[in-house]
Amino acid sequence: MSDPSRPAGGRVTTPYEGRVAVWDDDAAIEAPLRLHRTTAPPEWMDYNDHMSESCYLLAFGDSADAFFRFLGIDEAYRAAGHSLYTSETHLHHRHEVALGEPLEMTVQLLDHDRRRLHLFHEMRHGDTGTLLACAEQLLVHVDMDQGRSTDLPDQLLERLEALAAAHAGLPRPDVVGRPMGIRR
Amino acid sequence: MPETSIAAPFTAYREQVRPEWLDYNGHLGDASYSIVLSAAHELVLEALGLSADYRESHHASMFTVETHIRYLAECGAGQTLSAETFVVEADRKRLRLHSDLSADGVLVATGESLYLHVDTAAGRTTPLPEDRQRLVDAMRGAHAGLPRPPHLGLGVGVRP
């Protein structure tokens, strides 16, 4: 398996590091959110010149990071001791991705409670719109000092309510909530 | 391959956490767990004669169609990762593997992969050749008595 890590800094980074979160109460909320576009880079390719499996999760992770900043979770929020941790991901690979293909990511809020978010991510070809991959992600709000889950602050819960209302009319994708299995 | 030689579970994978797998917190990043899971499962495919050499010789390959990871604990630099893998189910074209991933012996994640056997020239699924099917069936048989974790039948969701 090729090494998909990005060279910069010798660790896993995201393109949104350092970008400060700015929520606008009056702005219309896209349904689904389109917060991240990218182009499949050479370091994501395997020996067959197709995107490595784990790089689908890198791309979804970058889109999730853009989503965190959209919601209000940036470096300052994390420095104050809280963050969203991934608790589960369930990824569906639909098509191979080749070097240089434009990738357009979307995020849909499926469900949430006071400390958990269930997101649905799609990766589509930026020109043709073909669905390349999709993923469910379950996130938990964590108090990093205590090392345990904790409720989101009211301000972020209000934003999630607004987001949930904006996404209420979106269709629920058929893979959502479905366990992996061989169906006959 | 006689059934007695098949490890249950399969435990060949062992690797130190690499610095390039770490995120801003110095912990293994979300996507890095999937690198580890793929590497552990690739060793199973190798034991089944379905890895790189097979792709070359048969113009066919096991394609990952689904990956489900449950993140249970953080791990970081200097730790040694290992996997305990079993065959959950399989048929003539499909293989489903489950792994417990541990760091220094402590469970940090579980991961499942679903593979399709694809004829790479024709670009479509095709049944496994008989010799490979026998190896898959033997491993599935050797793993049939292992305990099934309850999360195998669960999808992702916000549960009460």
Q: Which one-letter DSSP state was computed for residue A178?
A: P
Q: How confident is the model at residue A1 (pLDDT cuts 50, 70, 90)?
A: very low
| Contact state of B19 with A11 under an 8 Å Cβ cutoff | yes
**How many structural domains compose chain A?**
1
The pLDDT-based confidence of A2 (bands split at 50, 70, 90) is very low
pLDDT above 50: residue A8: no
Instruction: Kindly tell me if the per-residue pLDDT of B98 is higher than 80.
Output: yes
Q: How confident is the model at residue A11 (pLDDT cuts 50, 70, 90)?
A: confident
B158 touches chain A (CB under 8 A): yes
Give B-chain residues touching A92 at CB under 8 angstroms: 65-66
For residue A91, the model assigns a pLDDT of 97
In a domain, A25, yes or no: no
H/E run at residue A110: strand A102-112
pLDDT digits (tens, 9 = 90+) for A120-167: 999 999 999 999 999 999 999 999 999 999 999 999 999 999 999 999
Q: Is the pLDDT of residue A47 over 80?
A: no
Give the model's confidence band at A5: pLDDT under 50 very low, under 70 low, under 90 confident, else very high. very low
- The residue written with tokens 């012996």 in the block is B105
**Which of B63, B71, B154 lies nearest to residue A86, judging by beta carbons?**
B71
Domain membership of residue A12 (yes or no) is no
CA distance A102 to chain B (A): 20
Chain B residues in contact with A112 by the CB 8 A cut-off are: 158
Question: Is A6 part of any domain?
Answer: no
pLDDT category at A183 given cuts 50, 70, 90 is: confident
Fold of B17-144: Thiol Ester Dehydrase; Chain A (3.10.129)
The pairing of beta strand B80-90 with beta strand B124-125: unpaired
Task: Give whole-number Cα distances, A52 to A1, A34, A58, A74, B31, in Å.
Answer: 8, 23, 10, 28, 11
Statement: residue A3 has pLDDT above 60: no
B27 and A CB contact within 8 Å: no
Q: Under an 8 A CB cutoff, do B91 and A182 touch? A: yes
Q: How distant is the Cα of B98 from the closest Cα of chain A, in angstroms?
A: 11
Tell me the pLDDT band of A168, cut-offs 50, 70 and 90: very high
pLDDT at A25: 87
Q: Specify the amino acid at residue B117.
A: H
The region that residue A37 occupies, defined by phi over 0 for left and psi between -120 and 50 for alpha, beta otherwise, is beta
The CATH number given to whatever domain includes residue A63 is 3.10.129.10
Nearest CA-CA partner of B83 in B5, B10, B7, B141: B10
For residues A72 and B15, what is the distance between their CA atoms, to the nearest angstrom? Answer: 37
Is the preceding peptide bond at A173 cis, omega within 30 degrees of 0? Answer: no
In-domain check, residue A109? yes
Q: How far is CA A143 from CA A20, A79, A151, B66, in A?
A: 20, 11, 9, 31
Chain A contacts in chain B segment 52-81 (CB below 8 A): 63-71
B93 in reach of chain A (CB within 8 A): no
CA B68 – CA B51 distance, rounded (Å) = 21
**pLDDT at residue A14 greater than cutoff 90:** no
Predicted confidence at residue B143, as pLDDT, reads 98
CB contacts of B153 in chain A (<8 Å) are 179
**Sequence-ordered list of residues with C-beta below 8 angstroms from that of A49, at least 6 positions apart, any chain:** A98, A99
Owning domain of residue A149: 30-167
ipTM: 0.94
Please name which of A13, A143, A157 lies closest in space to residue A80, comparing C-alpha atoms: A143
Q: Per-residue pLDDT tens for B51-78? A: 989 999 999 999 999 999 999 999 999 9
Q: Residue B25 and residue A177: Cα distance in Å, rounded?
A: 30
**Which residues lie below 8 Å from residue B30, measured CB to CB, with a gap of 6+?**
A57, A61, A86, A89, B23, B69, B71
CB neighbourhood size of A105 (10 A) = 25
Distance, in Å, from the CA atom of A21 to the CA atom of A67, rounded to the nearest integer, reads 10
**pLDDT band with cut points at 50, 70 and 90 for residue B160:** confident
The nearest CA of chain A is from the CA of B34 a distance in Å of 5
Q: Tell me, yes or no, whether A21 lies in a domain.
A: no
Q: What residues of chain B lie within 8 A of the CB of A3, using their CB?
A: 20
Mean pLDDT of all residues in chain A? 91
Cβ contact (<8 Å) for A87 and B71? yes
Q: Is the pLDDT of residue A31 over 90?
A: yes
User: Taking the complete model, does pTM exceed 0.95, yes or no?
Assistant: no
Q: pLDDT value at position B4?
A: 54
Q: What is the mean pLDDT of chain B?
A: 94
Give me the percent of chain B exceeding a pLDDT of 90: 89
Does residue A50 surpass a pLDDT of 60? yes
**Where do we find the tokens 């898959």?**
B136
CA distance A141 to A85: 6
